[in-house]
């Protein structure tokens, strides 16, 4: 459901924030955004590593993991081994989890039980239906507690769930591919004009950083450079997000991801048909009305379609489209930075909504 601007009021104080799992690409971007966030000037974010990521369990230095962040805020330069008692003693009120799916699945209930709100960047809590969640093969030690947490989790797409995010304790940050496609399709699907019997085709391409920091044979330079390859056809983990958030069936949408030989950025090209002929202005009106309260979505005027280079290192999602001459076929192009609007930037955007700040605070 689309959310409007609402009447949220700023909170009396900025929360004490922490990031667990700081070593990855998204963790580094999250640290950069929090260190420079104007609302967090009076509260120093804390950074925590997972087991084995610091030397002998001793505090490390943020600049060792992310040299580009050196000297931004020296008082926040330490990276501590993760410890729940240290988190509680520090008075942490909002915990970002940039951890593997299984780790987030295990840790969230502990955080919530300590009165700490969570924004989770993994896929642990994004999917409400077991048939979609099965792709992660989770084995919950306490299935009843996990089910309770799952029911409470809010899908952290502010453009769709702004009102629910404001009061949430657990935010499931969306996947990068899913964000690019959902933002492109949600206004059109909700308009009722899309011919779902004809199906929707989503051809999406991502830079190598979308695969995470750990190298694989597919992300090795000798494989990825000067190459373009499809992967996870009919089985990508973000497919369930599309089905649940757009209220579609697997027969109504096909999503195929590809690996681009660039560091970061996503371009999704989406093909669909309308049930009746429409005018280009009709499509423009649908998008502009849907996103009139959404500062992080920019609509490009036809025929100027989005490009990755226009969104990289920003938290914007750029949308553009071309309508066929008969007014029945539409191609939508959606671009975003997979590490920002597709991960860390969207997580900070969710924090802004939770605490009643301007949605773009610290992101422009």
Which pLDDT tens digit goes with each residue over 49-63? 875 455 556 678 898
Sign of CA dihedral 56, 60, 63, 69: positive
CA distances from 213 to 21, 28, 65, 201 (A): 12, 11, 12, 29
Q: For the chain, report the end-to-end CA distance as a whole number of angstroms.
A: 26
Helix, strand or coil for residue 349? helix
Domain with CATH 3.30.360.10 in the chain: 176-336
Which of 176, 202, 317, 335 is flagged as catalytic? 176
What is the per-residue DSSP string for 154-206? Answer: EE--HHHHHHHHHT-SEEEPPPHHHHHHHHHHHHHHHHT-B-TTT-EEEEEEE
pLDDT tens for 346-359 read 999 999 999 999 99
Taking domain 17-173+343-354, whether its CATH number is 3.40.50.720 is answered by: yes
Buried b vs exposed e over 312-331: b needs ≥16 C-beta within 10 Å? bebbbbbbbbebeeeebbbb
Q: What is the pairing mode between strands 154-155 and 200-206?
A: unpaired
Indicate the pTM of the whole model.
Answer: 0.94
Give the position of tokens 């990521």: 53
pLDDT band at 10 (very low <50, low <70, confident <90, very high): low
pLDDT number for residue 76: 75
Q: How many CB atoms lie within 10 A of CB 178?
A: 27
pLDDT tens for 124-169 read 999 999 999 999 999 999 999 999 999 999 999 999 999 999 999 9
Average pLDDT over residues 260-280: 97
Q: What is the pairing mode between strands 60-61 and 94-97?
A: unpaired
Percent of the chain exceeding pLDDT 90 equals: 81
List strands edge to edge, sheet with 46-49.
60-61, 78-81, 46-49, 17-20, 94-97, 117-120, 170-172, 154-155
Domain with CATH 3.40.50.720 in the chain: 17-173+343-354
Q: What is the pairing mode between strands 266-273 and 329-336?
A: antiparallel
Q: Is 317 a catalytic residue?
A: no
Buried b vs exposed e over 107-122: b needs ≥16 C-beta within 10 Å? bbbebbeeebbbbbbb
| Inter-residue contact 297 to 349 (CB < 8 Å) | no
Fold classification of 176-336 (topology level):
Dihydrodipicolinate Reductase; domain 2 (3.30.360)
């Amino acid at each position: 459901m689309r959310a409007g601007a609402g009447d949220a009021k700023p909170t009396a104080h900025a929360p004490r924030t922490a990031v667990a799992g700081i070593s990855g690409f998204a963790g580094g971007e999250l640290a950069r955004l929090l260190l420079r966030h104007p609302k967090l000037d009076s509260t120093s974010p804390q950074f925590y590593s997972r087991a084995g990521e610091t030397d002998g369990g001793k505090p490390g230095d943020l600049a060792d993991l992310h040299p580009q962040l050196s000297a931004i805020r020296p008082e926040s330069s330490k990276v501590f081994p993760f410890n729940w008692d240290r988190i509680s003693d520090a008075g942490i009120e909002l915990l970002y989890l940039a951890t593997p799916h299984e780790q987030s699945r295990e840790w969230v209930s502990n955080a919530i039980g300590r009165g700490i709100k969570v924004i989770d960047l993994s896929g642990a809590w994004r999917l409400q239906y077991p048939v979609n969640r099965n792709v992660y093969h989770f084995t919950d030690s306490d299935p009843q507690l996990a089910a309770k947490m799952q029911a409470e989790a809010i899908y952290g797409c502010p453009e769709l769930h702004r009102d629910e995010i404001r009061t949430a304790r657990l935010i499931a940050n969306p996947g990068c591919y899913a964000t690019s496609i959902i933002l492109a399709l949600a206004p059109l699907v909700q308009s009722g004009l899309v011919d779902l019997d004809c199906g929707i085709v989503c051809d999406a391409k991502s830079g190598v950083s979308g695969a995470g920091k750990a190298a694989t044979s597919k992300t090795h330079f000798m494989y990825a450079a000067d190459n373009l390859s499809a992967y996870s056809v009919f089985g990508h983990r973000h497919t369930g997000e599309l089905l649940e958030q757009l209220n579609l069936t697997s027969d109504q949408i096909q999503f195929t991801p590809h690996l681009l030989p660039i560091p970061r950025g996503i371009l999704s090209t989406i093909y669909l048909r309308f049930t009746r002929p429409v005018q280009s202005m009709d499509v423009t009106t649908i998008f502009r009305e849907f996103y009139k309260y959404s500062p992080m979505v920019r609509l490009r005027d036809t025929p100027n379609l989005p490009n990755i280079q226009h969104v990289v290192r920003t938290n914007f999602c750029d949308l553009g489209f071309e309508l066929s001459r008969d007014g029945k076929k539409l191609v939508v192009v959606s671009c975003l930075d997979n590490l920002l609007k597709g991960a860390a930037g969207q997580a900070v955007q969710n924090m802004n909504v939770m605490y009643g700040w301007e949605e773009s605070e610290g992101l422009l």
